[in-house]
């Protein structure tokens, strides 16, 4: 493909003079900054109710404050995409709370739990970007929810929309004994300087950031729009490598290294340079080509670095070390030692499904056994920090009594599922409950299987649960069963691994939801019988 600048038709890049909106989304953003909807929610919509909401706010700008209309219950997946929004939209909202770096204090977790019980019919899932997601939110309650969140330093600002979304970070930042560096100060700096700023509230599309000094690479930097990864240069100084242009969904791509070394104190400015390139040069004509990965794919890492240095930073960055080979498994489930001699205890709710009552109980345990500090992970799991060594087993037992396992089966440990048809308007199939049932059944049928294996379940062709990089990725769609009827099912991707390979889509490899467990069992049994010693699922497929 020729570089964007040589193409005949403009891609809507602001830096090349295309300032006029080329589609409806761009028009909505130009008409009014998404951030301005906050005032209207407080002053008008929460008082006058759902029917008073301007449609451009309802299905557009509300996202800038973390609000999406949820799917009306009872509409089957076959109708997804064919019904107008008004028929698909419920009068309730999904609300996403951003938890940058996944770091929560005791009072913050308790507030999140209380809001779930009071305003969200108890719902509260942990997402694979470390957020907490509520459902059943009424617009009337949003100001009170914001007030409660903001009182403990939390926010829903830019949790969705064409904005800099939550910054993910290693949940053990500042804790893990073997970390390269603690990225928390950089996460805080970027948040404080740029989140909620009109400077970056009109991007071509969403922008996902990861900042981490974790040796396990748990923030999956390869699939973020920009990622800062802890490294040590030749002089023994700790800093960051920078990766740009990763993303899944359609046209999945792994991020490319810019080959630079960035000192921690310079990182926020480099982040600003990268997001500014995206804002100015990103493609705004077609939504499905608007993520930064398409620009990076067209330009290449060398040109991207050149533009960053010359046009945005005004100086060259030093070269950094070569990126490390991708790590096959990256989580923090289980018990581990902290830098201060205490221990962390990571546990696995099933596919991120939690609720307000349970979060309250987790807050109780975190206070009773630790300091109250809790973390969310980028794999839909959680961690309690600061537990004395002689109390870890008692905490593991107490969590186990809540079905939050510290030593889960491989299936429970690595499974993830997106929101699915229960609440998501784009979904074609059920995901959370399906995945939970699958995990339970595999635990019964294959109790001795202990190899690492990721099973990720999506309700549609998007990539919210990262199916393309799972060992077994399940993409929800309608399939034809043995009677010739259209039923819920999945297309199967096999052998994906973050940073190394995308799962192979074998033509025709599909299963109905009813046959899903049998299918997965067969594949896992075959792998277990045929694998060589130490051979991963991705290598075996
Ligand atoms: Fe919704 Fe599809 Fe994302 Fe699942 S993958 S949450 S169904 S958009």
Residue from 206, 420, 430, 488 whose mutation best tests the ligand 1 pocket (most atoms within 8 A of CB)? 420
Name residue, tokens 């109390």: 391
Mean pLDDT of 1-25: 78
Nearest atom, ligand 1, residue 420 CA: 7
Please give the distance, rounded to the nearest whole angstrom, from the Cα atom of residue 427 to the centre of ligand 1: 5
Q: What is the pLDDT of residue 277?
A: 98
Please give the distance, rounded to the nearest whole angstrom, from the Cα atom of residue 458 to the centre of ligand 1: 6
Tokens of residue 79, six digits: 């109708």
Work out the percent of the chain whose per-residue pLDDT is above 90. 92
CA distance 207 to 97: 16
Please give the distance, rounded to the nearest whole angstrom, from the Cα atom of residue 113 to the centre of ligand 1: 24
Give, as one character, the DSSP assignment of residue 176. Answer: B
CA distance 426 to 173: 34
Q: What is the pLDDT of residue 8?
A: 54
CA distance 50 to 130: 29
Nearest atom, ligand 1, residue 465 CA: 5
Distances (CA, A) of 20 to 30, 161, 202, 277, 316: 9, 20, 13, 18, 33
Nearest atom, ligand 1, residue 460 CA: 2
CA distance 55 to 61: 9
Residue ID of nearest Cα to ligand 1 atom 3: 464
Mean pLDDT of 150-165: 98
Mean pLDDT, all residues of the chain: 95
Residue 157 has pLDDT above 70, yes or no: yes
The residue length of the chain stands at 541
Residue from 462, 473, 490, 493 whose mutation best tests the ligand 1 pocket (most atoms within 8 A of CB)? 462
Residue ranges in 282-347 assigned as alpha helix (H): 292-299, 301-307
Nearest atom, ligand 1, residue 424 CA: 1
CA distance 32 to 183: 34
Residue from 126, 160, 380, 427 whose mutation best tests the ligand 1 pocket (most atoms within 8 A of CB)? 427
Q: What is the pLDDT of residue 330?
A: 83
Residue ID of nearest Cα to ligand 1 atom 2: 460
Nearest to 157, CA basis, from 112, 208, 197 = 197
Residue 76 has pLDDT above 70, yes or no: yes
pLDDT tens for residues 386-404?
Answer: 999 999 999 999 999 999 9
Mean pLDDT of 499-504: 92
Q: Strand pairing partners for 479?
A: 487
Please give the distance, rounded to the nearest whole angstrom, from the Cα atom of residue 431 to the centre of ligand 1: 9
Residue from 126, 165, 352, 419 whose mutation best tests the ligand 1 pocket (most atoms within 8 A of CB)? 419
Nearest atom, ligand 1, residue 425 CA: 1
Work out the percent of the chain whose per-residue pLDDT is above 70. 98
pTM of the model: 0.95
Q: CB under 8 Å to 409, separation ≥6 — which residues?
A: 439, 442, 443, 447, 449, 450
Contact predicate 440/409, CB 8 Å: no
pLDDT tens for residues 441-466?
Answer: 999 999 999 999 999 999 999 989 99
Contact predicate 416/380, CB 8 Å: yes
Encode 21-64 in three state secondary structure.
Answer: CCCHHHHHHHHCCHHHHHHHHHHHHHHHCHHHCCHHHHCCHHHH
Ligand 1: lining residues by beta carbon, under 6 Å: 418-420, 424, 426-427, 458-460, 462, 464
Q: What is the pLDDT of residue 93?
A: 98
In the structure, what pLDDT confidence band is assigned to residue 508 with cuts at 50, 70 and 90?
A: confident
pLDDT tens for residues 290-329?
Answer: 999 999 999 999 999 999 999 999 999 999 999 988 888 7
474 class by beta-carbon count within 10 Å (0-12 exposed, 13-18 middle, 19+ buried): buried
Please give the distance, rounded to the nearest whole angstrom, from the Cα atom of residue 428 to the centre of ligand 1: 9
pLDDT tens for residues 207-236?
Answer: 999 999 999 999 999 999 999 999 999 999
Q: What is the pLDDT of residue 492?
A: 95
């Amino acid at each position: 493909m020729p570089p964007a600048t040589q193409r005949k038709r403009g891609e809507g890049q602001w830096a090349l003079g295309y300032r006029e909106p080329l589609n409806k989304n761009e028009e909505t953003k130009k008409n009014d900054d998404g951030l301005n909807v906050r005032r209207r929610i407080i002053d008008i919509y929460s008082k006058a109710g759902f029917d008073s909401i301007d449609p451009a706010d309802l299905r557009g700008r509300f996202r800038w404050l973390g609000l999406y209309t949820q799917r009306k219950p009872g509409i089957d997946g076959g109708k997804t995409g064919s019904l107008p929004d008004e028929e698909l939209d419920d009068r309730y909202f999904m609300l996403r709370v951003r938890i940058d770096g996944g770091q929560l204090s005791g009072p913050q977790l308790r507030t999140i739990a209380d809001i779930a019980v009071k305003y969200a019919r108890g719902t509260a899932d942990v997402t694979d970007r470390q957020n907490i997601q509520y459902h059943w939110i009424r617009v009337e309650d949003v100001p009170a929810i914001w007030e409660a969140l903001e009182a403990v330093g939390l926010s829903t600002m830019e949790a969705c929309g064409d904005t800099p979304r939550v910054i993910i970070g290693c949940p053990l930042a500042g804790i893990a004994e073997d970390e390269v560096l603690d990225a928390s100060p950089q996460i805080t700096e970027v948040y404080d300087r740029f989140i909620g700023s009109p400077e970056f509230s009109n991007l071509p599309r969403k922008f996902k950031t990861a900042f981490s000094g974790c040796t396990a690479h748990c923030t999956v930097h390869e699939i973020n729009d920009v990622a800062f990864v802890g490294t040590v240069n030749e002089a023994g100084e700790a800093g960051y490598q920078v990766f740009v242009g990763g993303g899944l969904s359609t046209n999945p791509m792994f991020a490319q290294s810019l080959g630079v070394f960035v000192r921690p104190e310079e990182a926020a400015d480099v982040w600003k340079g990268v997001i500014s390139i995206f804002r100015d040069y990103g493609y705004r004509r077609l939504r499905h080509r608007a993520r930064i990965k398409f620009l990076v794919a067209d330009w290449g890492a060398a040109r991207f670095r050149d533009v960053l240095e010359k046009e945005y930073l005004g100086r060259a960055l030093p070269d950094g070390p070569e990126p490390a080979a991708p790590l096959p498994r990256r989580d923090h489930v289980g018990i581990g030692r902290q830098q201060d001699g205490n221990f962390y205890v990571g546990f696995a709710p099933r596919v991120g499904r939690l609720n307000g009552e349970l979060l309250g109980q987790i807050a109780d345990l975190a206070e009773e056994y630790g300091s109250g500090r809790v973390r969310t992970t980028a794999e839909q799991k959680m961690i309690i920090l600061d537990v004395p060594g002689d109390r870890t087993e008692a905490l593991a037992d107490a969590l186990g009594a809540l079905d939050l396992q510290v030593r889960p089966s491989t299936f429970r440990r690595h499974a993830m599922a997106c929101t699915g048809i229960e609440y998501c308007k784009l979904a074609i199939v059920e995901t959370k409950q399906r995945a939970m049932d699958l995990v339970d059944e595999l635990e019964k049928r294959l109790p001795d299987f202990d190899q690492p294996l990721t099973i990720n379940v999506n309700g549609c062709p998007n990539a919210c649960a990262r199916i393309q990089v799972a060992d077994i990725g399940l993409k929800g769609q309608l399939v034809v069963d043995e009677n010739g009827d259209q039923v819920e099912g999945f297309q199967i991707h096999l052998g994906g691994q973050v940073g190394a390979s995308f799962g192979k889509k074998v033509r025709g490899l599909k299963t109905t939801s009813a046959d899903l467990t049998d299918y997965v069992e067969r594949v896992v049994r075959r792998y277990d019988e045929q694998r060589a010693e130490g051979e991963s699922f991705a290598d075996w497929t």
